[in-house]
Amino acid sequence: MAKVEKYKWHIDEDLPSIDDHSIIKLDIIERYIEIYLSYLSKNCFYRNLKFTIVDGFSGGGLYKNNIFGSPIRIKNAIENAKKIIAYEREINKCPPLTFNIDFKFIEKNKNTYNFLTKTLNDFNLCCDKTTCINGKFTTHIDTIINDIKSKSKKNGRSIFILDQYGYKDAPIPIIRKIFLSLKKAEVILTFSIDSLIDYLTENNPKVLQNMGLTKEECERIFDEKADNDFSRSTIQPILYKTIVNQVGAPFYTPFFIKSDTSNRAYWLFHFSTHPTARDEMVKLHWEKQNTFIHYGKEGLNMLIGYGSSSRENLFNNHAYKFDDFAKEKSIHSLSSELPKLIYNYKEVSFENLKNSILNETPATVDIIKESLADAMECGEIVIKSQDKVSKRMKYNSIKKDDILIWTGQRQLSLPFDFLTK
């Protein structure tokens, strides 16, 4: 029996196996694509839906025990969503929706590429809208961006699935280029943060410099690694901040997937240009609470500073597991923090408040609304409709254009000097 290489495919040889946490990751991708299509099809006046899905590290499409990889899952997600959308539009008396979706599957390994094309043919999933590319993602990105621009001239609507094995094959500057070039792109990125930290030494600073870190940030990281009391908790926030700043996407999620077979973890980033996309992805993290972990605060400023006080509670003992207890902690923290923000604004729309904090909390929009319940009940804040005629009495009736008004009727637990500024 031929020896199976991890994540390598050869025709007529044994299939590679896949870990449980990676299956959950594929579940997330598949489910998100279904949600994405459902959201885009809600407008009854839409007749033609155009976008492109790029799978930058496709693999062979099939694992041991007939577990489907990302190319087949992407295809299946689209077909499932089409059926549901067709039914819903018929029920709502909307005109049929035409789907104009391009698929681009990229695989650099020749044997794996050959297996992928055979697998797609075997499952009757090849069509004139499907392009399989044998090569590196970075080599073909410019051509792909130009193809997407030609297809969708106004907005470049697209999803990039960049499930790299490691941290180097999907460079951060390339992801930045995607968002600079395509107005409505989204990127789902796997980033092996533990592997990067293990690799880093003063002798190889180039990997950090290529990510956009300053000389001072690089020196700080190397100093931390040289410390006998070395803690990943002080390095991960620096790298996180650099990645999100360099990518430049307005909205993002930075949560961990933890392996069941090792102590290593990696980030599953989702970058987008719309707050709804960010919220839908976070909802999926909550659904997969046994696999996704957030190491940090449950309220705002979820990835706090780098000082010695954060060593114990940031990435070591403060695992936020997206369960009911985590939800309670988020509501408790946000119930205290949100009124302070509203105090600063005096008046602010819920939409503006929400968008200003989305990237800083593991909470969903629904949890943010629920966190306002106490302040609403005690009269600390009043929430009114956009025209200020109707008053909201319950948190679950809050609309995006509603106005949140600070009343000051209940004393905040703020320092005196804060209130007198």
CATH code of the domain containing 390? 1.10.10.10
So what's the pLDDT on residue 309? 36
Domain-ending residue, one of 296, 324, 352: 324
Q: Are residues 223 and 130 in the same domain?
A: yes
Q: Are strands 185-191 and 292-295 parallel, antiparallel or unpaired?
A: unpaired
How many angstroms separate the CA atoms of 392 and 16, rounded? 55
Q: Are residues 355 and 273 in the same domain?
A: no
Q: Are residues 60 and 136 in the same domain?
A: yes
Contact call for residues 44 and 94 (beta carbons, < 8 A) = yes
Buried b (16+ CB within 10 A) or exposed e, 268-282: bbbbbbebebbbbbb
Closest CA to 101 of 124, 78, 85, 134: 78
Q: Are residues 263 and 332 in the same domain?
A: no
Q: What is the SS3 assignment for 179?
A: helix
pLDDT tens digits along 118-175: 999 999 998 789 999 999 999 999 999 999 999 988 889 999 999 998 888 999 999 9
Q: Are residues 281 and 342 in the same domain?
A: no
Q: Are residues 270 and 382 in the same domain?
A: no
Look at residue 3 and tell me if it is in a domain. Answer: no
CA 415 from chain centre, in angstroms, equals 36
So what's the pLDDT on residue 312? 38
How many angstroms separate the CA atoms of 398 and 352, rounded? 13
- Residues contacting 187, CB < 8 A, separation 6+: 159, 160, 162, 175, 178, 179, 247, 249, 269, 270, 271, 272
Q: Are residues 51 and 166 in the same domain?
A: yes
DSSP 391: B
Q: Are residues 315 and 340 in the same domain?
A: no
3-state secondary structure 196-256: HHHHCCCCCCHHHHHHCCCHHHHHHHHHHHHCCCCCHHHHHHHHHHHHHHHHCCCEEEEEE
Closest CA to 237 of 273, 206, 197: 197
So what's the pLDDT on residue 118? 96
- Residues contacting 246, CB < 8 A, separation 6+: 172, 173, 176, 211, 212
Look at residue 151 and tell me if it is in a domain. Answer: yes
Q: Which helix (H) or strand (E) holds 137?
A: helix 137-151
What Rg, from alpha-carbon coordinates, does the chain have? 23
Find the largest Cα–Cα distance for the chain: 76
Averaged pLDDT, groups of 10, the chain, 421 residues long: 62 91 90 95 91 97 96 96 95 94 97 96 90 97 96 92 92 95 96 84 79 81 72 77 92 78 77 96 81 63 43 46 83 92 94 94 93 94 94 95 89 48 48
How many angstroms separate the CA atoms of 335 and 394, rounded? 15
Q: Are residues 292 and 348 in the same domain?
A: no
pLDDT tens digits along 244-256: 999 999 999 877 7
Q: Which helix (H) or strand (E) holds 272?
A: strand 265-272
């077979």: which residue's tokens?
261
Look at residue 357 and tell me if it is in a domain. Answer: yes
Look at residue 13 and tell me if it is in a domain. Answer: no
Domain-ending residue, one of 272, 292, 324: 324
So what's the pLDDT on residue 22? 87
Tell how many helices (H) and how many strands (E) occur in the chain.
15, 14
Q: Are strands 130-134 and 98-107 parallel, antiparallel or unpaired?
A: parallel
- Please report the DSSP string for 34-96 in residue order: HHHHHHHT--TT--EEEEEEEETT-TTSEEGGGEE-HHHHHHHHHHHHHHHHHHHHHHTTPPP
Q: Are residues 362 and 392 in the same domain?
A: yes
Look at residue 8 and tell me if it is in a domain. Answer: no
CATH at 179: 3.40.50.150
Q: Give the number of domains in the chain.
A: 2
Q: Are residues 287 and 356 in the same domain?
A: no
Q: Which helix (H) or strand (E) holds 107?
A: strand 98-107
The tokens for 336 are 């205290």
The tokens for 266 are 């990696």
How many angstroms separate the CA atoms of 163 and 38, rounded? 23
Contact call for residues 362 and 330 (beta carbons, < 8 A) = yes
């703020």: which residue's tokens?
414
For 319, the domain range is 20-324
- Residues contacting 389, CB < 8 A, separation 6+: none
- Residues contacting 156, CB < 8 A, separation 6+: 145, 148, 149, 181, 182, 183, 184, 185
